[in-house]
Amino acid sequence: MNSYIKNVIEDVENRNSNEKEFIQSVHEVLETLEKVIDNNPDFEKNGLLERLVEPERVIMFRVPWVDDNGKVQVNKGYRVQFNGSIGPYKGGLRFHESVNLSIMKFLAFEQTFKNALTGLPIGGGKGGSDFNPKGKSDNEIMRFCQSFMNELQRHIGADLDVPAGDIGVGAREIGYLFGQYRKIKNLYEAGVLTGKGLSYGGSLARKEATGFGLIYFMREMLKANNMTLEGKTVTISGSGNVAIYAAQKTLEYGAKVVAMSDSNGCIWDKDGIDLAEIKRIKEVERLRIKEYLKKYPNAVYMENVKGEIPAVYTIKTDIALPCATQNDINLETAKLLVSNGVKAIGEGANMPTTIEGIKYFLENGILFAPAKAANAGGVATSALEMSQNSMRCPWTFEEVDEKLDRIMTNIFATCKHTAEKYNLGKNYLAGANIAAFSKVADAMIAQGII
């Protein structure tokens, strides 16, 4: 490996030794940059990689709130402002009990490159809390969001840092966060958050954007390899925002979704999943996916067992779409998918495949749509929401969807051309990393040592 890259990775490992997800994401990006770094000795003189792997700012704060029993609860709050060289920090908020600094930093690091690929002026950031929304009442969610915003409001703004949703944060949470921001600041600053409701500055098609964008990317990737979605079998890990709208677009293109999951297990319906029922269970009732059996007793439910391959990946499929969480697919899972004949993987989640899993897919000729390119449709549409807020003029669903399709088509073309230019074959991950890195590096060098 190039000695500059090797030294920077070692340094990241030594100085952040307890941050395993962050270290993994640094490995994943830097290891694909060899040819660019070899060609640009100036990067080392500029300390470019050392600066790239260190967040510009990390904010950590206390989030106290009172539960429905009158008991005080305290959670950790985070916002990582990783890289602002190409625009205001931009990225979602994750509310999940597993959230820690390592996960926040990996997500913000990934976001920096993803946002660069969209071609829109947005920097990389991410935030969240170890708050667990499951089983909380609506009032508890509201009080938590208000307390979270009491602190976050000092660090965000339409031209500074623009949060949005991620795991555990959807339209309901963004509404409570926006309301509290507006009250504290006494200001209607629509562009401070994205993923807003349609009645107060949200964009049509933002809710659908990540899932639709993933399938637009998949369509392009299959097309470039003389395949189509039509008639294919698809399994989806997750049943949240990304999973549901990926399923919807998959169905529109004539493929069949046979399985979806949540953290407890998966449902397998050979006739094809009834997506309207999934939406009712997940978007309206906020229940477990097992509930699907009540309406479809002939479907199969398979429980996840800790330490074993997640049930959804044991099902034979043409296309697997990991749309839940990080490190869902390890080497063992990748091997099983390949031996069951999988043809393509589309990463809707962030870093859902381990480095060993990715290598195995690529070595076995499986088409691999990497997260930071394939799931960029969500944040790209957030940037379109920011544009509409600045213009004070909303676009129609069709206008936004058409722009999203064009952006995803361009991102795939960029990944493909860059991989080909560097003789990396169908390694679209390397293509994505090199293209994104080149843009961020250019902006950082132009702006001097800051």
Active site residues: 126
Least distance to ligand NDP from the beta carbon of 318, Å? 21
Torsion of the alpha carbons at 128, 132, 138 and 139, rounded to the nearest 10: -80
Q: Which is nearer to ligand NDP, 112 or 210 (CB)?
A: 210
CB of 70 to ligand 2IT, least distance (A): 33
Q: Considering CB under 6 A, how many residues would be counted as binding ligand 2IT?
A: 12
Please give the residues from 379 up to 408 whose contact with ligand 2IT meets the rule CB under 6 A: 379, 382
Residues in the site for ligand NDP, rule: CB under 6 A? 165-168, 210, 238-243, 262-264, 323-325, 348-350, 375, 378
Contact partner, 133, from ligand NDP, ligand 2IT, none, Cβ < 5-8 Å per class: none
Closer to ligand 2IT by Cβ: residue 309 or 323 = 323
In the complex with ligand NDP, the residue whose CB is nearer, 8 or 218, is: 218
Whether the CA torsion 337, 343, 347, 353 is positive or negative: it is positive
Cα separations in angstroms, 304 against 149, 195, 357: 35, 31, 19
Lookup: tokens for 366: 């499986």
Q: How many CB atoms lie within 10 A of CB 230?
A: 10
Decide: 222 and 204 in contact? Cβ < 8 Å: no
DSSP type of residue 70? S
Q: Give dist(CA 128, CA 151) in Å, integer.
A: 12
Q: Where are the alpha helices (DSSP H) in 136-205?
A: 138-152, 171-185
Pick the closer one to ligand NDP by CB: 49 or 163. Answer: 163
From the list ligand NDP, ligand 2IT, none, pick the one residue 128 interacts with, judged by a Cβ distance below 5 to 8 Å according to partner type: none
Binding to ligand 2IT by residue 232, rule CB under 6 A? Answer: no
CA distances (Å), origin 433, targets 104, 372, 377, 439: 19, 8, 17, 10
State the sign of the Cα–Cα–Cα–Cα dihedral 144, 146, 147, 152: positive
Do residues 289 and 264 touch, judged by C-beta distance below 8 A? yes
Structure-block tokens of residue 17: 């030794």
Rg (CA), the chain: 21
When asked if residue 349 is in the footprint of ligand 2IT (CB under 6 A), the reply is no
CA-CA-CA-CA torsion sign (50, 85, 112, 426): negative
Specify the residue, 238 or 265, whose C-beta has the smaller distance to ligand 2IT: 238
Rounded-to-integer distance, Cα 220 and Cα 225, Å: 9
Shortest distance (Å) from residue 202 CB to ligand 2IT: 12
Q: In the complex, what is the shortest distance from the CB of residue 110 to ligand NDP, in angstroms, rounded to a whole number?
A: 9
Residue 348 binds which of ligand NDP, ligand 2IT, none (CB < 5-8 A, kind-dependent): ligand NDP
Q: Which one of 15-23, 127-135, 225-233, 377-385 is the stretch in contact with ligand 2IT (CB under 6 A)?
A: 377-385
Nearer to ligand 2IT, 19 or 166 (CB): 166
From the list ligand NDP, ligand 2IT, none, which binds 91 (C-beta under 5 to 8 Å, kind-based)? ligand 2IT
| Near ligand 2IT by CB under 6 A: residue from 147, 333, 350, 414 | 350
First-residue to last-residue Cα distance in the chain: 28
Contact region with ligand 2IT (CB under 6 A), list: 13-21, 286-294, 355-363, 375-383: 375-383
Work out which of 378, 415, 426, 433 binds ligand 2IT, going by CB under 6 A: 378
Here the tokens at position 156 are 């965000």
Q: Does 194 bind ligand 2IT (CB under 6 A)?
A: yes
Largest separation between any pair of C-alpha atoms in the chain: 64
Q: What does DSSP say about strands 300-303 and 161-164: parallel, antiparallel, or unpaired?
A: unpaired
* Minimum CB–partner distance for residue 258 and ligand NDP (Å): 17
CA–chain centroid gap for 88, Å, is: 18
Helix (H, G, I), strand (E, B) or coil at 318: coil
Nearest CB to ligand 2IT, comparing residues 299 and 380: 380
State the binding partner of 388 from ligand 2IT, ligand NDP, none, CB within 5 to 8 A by kind.
Answer: none
- 166 is an interface residue for ligand 2IT by CB under 6 A: yes
Cβ(95)–Cβ(169) under 8 Å?
yes
Question: According to the binding rule CB under 6 A, does residue 325 interact with ligand 2IT?
Answer: no
Among 84, 92, 133, 202, binds ligand 2IT (CB under 6 A): 92
What residues line the site for ligand 2IT (CB under 6 A)? Answer: 90-92, 111, 114, 164, 166, 194, 350, 378-379, 382
